[in-house]
Amino acid sequence: MSYCVNCGVELHETCSVCPLCHTEVHNPRHPADENAPKPFPVRQGAVAPVQKADVLILISVVLAVTAGVCGLLNLLIFYGTYWSLYVIGGCVLLWVFCLPMFLPKISPYVSILLDGGGIAMYFGIIAWLHPGRGWYPDLAVPLTVLATGLILLFAVCVRQIHASILSCAALLLAETAVYTIAVELLIDRFRQTPPGLTWSAIVLTCCVIIDAALITILRHSRLREEVRRRMHI
């Protein structure tokens, strides 16, 4: 039984420091009893992760049945065109999009890659059903791959490097500029016109100006603090 010399409260016999003011207890007659049971346990509790597997199974079954029924209808009754491929592809795409919601442990990078792959696949179905002019290999695939790559890069910056909001915004703008340029160049190549920057140049200029401002702010810590104070959400 010891008292805190600073607060005047009696302390539990296991206390070696006052919980109120962090003053150490020095009582030669009653040193803190390390072996007595503490007033509270030390075992840390944690909430069990929520099981959403049943919902995932339900959604999988619903989507699989929809896809299967459409496939059968297409084969047996409404044949002629392969319209059911749209539905089946849509179901697969929806399932891929839903995956991270029900499996929180799945890596976000994997799910972004899967999403990109799903979108490319759906474009592939459309291209296979409407062949012609080679827009799929020339436009759809490169644009999807580029978009997936840029989103992955952004995700890495946010999650791994813990970049601040301002640097994230700068990166997002830079990526937008890159993407618009890529879109224009690819369209030029597809139309077999000589490559040149016209409308994407406007976007590029805007992005460069804003990015330059953002980088200036980022490099001056005082300015950065000021912006953070005024613009905090």
| Residue numbers at the binding site for Zn ion (CB under 5 A) | 4, 6-7, 18, 20-21, 23
Shortest reach from residue 17's CB to Zn ion, in Å:
9
Shortest reach from residue 37's CB to Zn ion, in Å:
22
Residue 61 interface partner, choices another protein, Zn ion, none, CB cut-off 5-8 Å depending on type: none
Shortest reach from residue 162's CB to another protein, in Å:
16
Long-range contacts of 92-97 (CB under 8 A, 24+ apart): 92/63, 92/67, 92/118, 92/121, 93/118, 93/119, 93/121, 93/122, 94/63, 95/59, 95/60, 95/63
Residue 134 interface partner, choices another protein, Zn ion, none, CB cut-off 5-8 Å depending on type: none
Q: State the helix-helix crossing angle for 141-156 and 108-129, rounded to 10 degrees.
A: 170
- Partnered with residue 2 across adjacent β-strands are 11
Shortest reach from residue 22's CB to Zn ion, in Å:
7
Comparing CB distances to Zn ion, the nearer of 23 and 216 is: 23
Asked if residue 132 binds another protein (CB under 8 A), the reply is no
CA–CA dist 79, 163 (Å, integer)? 54
Lookup result for tokens 């759809």: 140
Site string for another protein, 18-57 (x = CB under 8 A): xxxxx-x------------x-xxxxxxxxxx-xxx-----
User: Is residue 65 within 8 Å of 88, Cβ to Cβ?
Assistant: no
Residues that bind another protein (CB under 8 A): 4, 7-12, 14-22, 24, 37, 39-48, 50-52
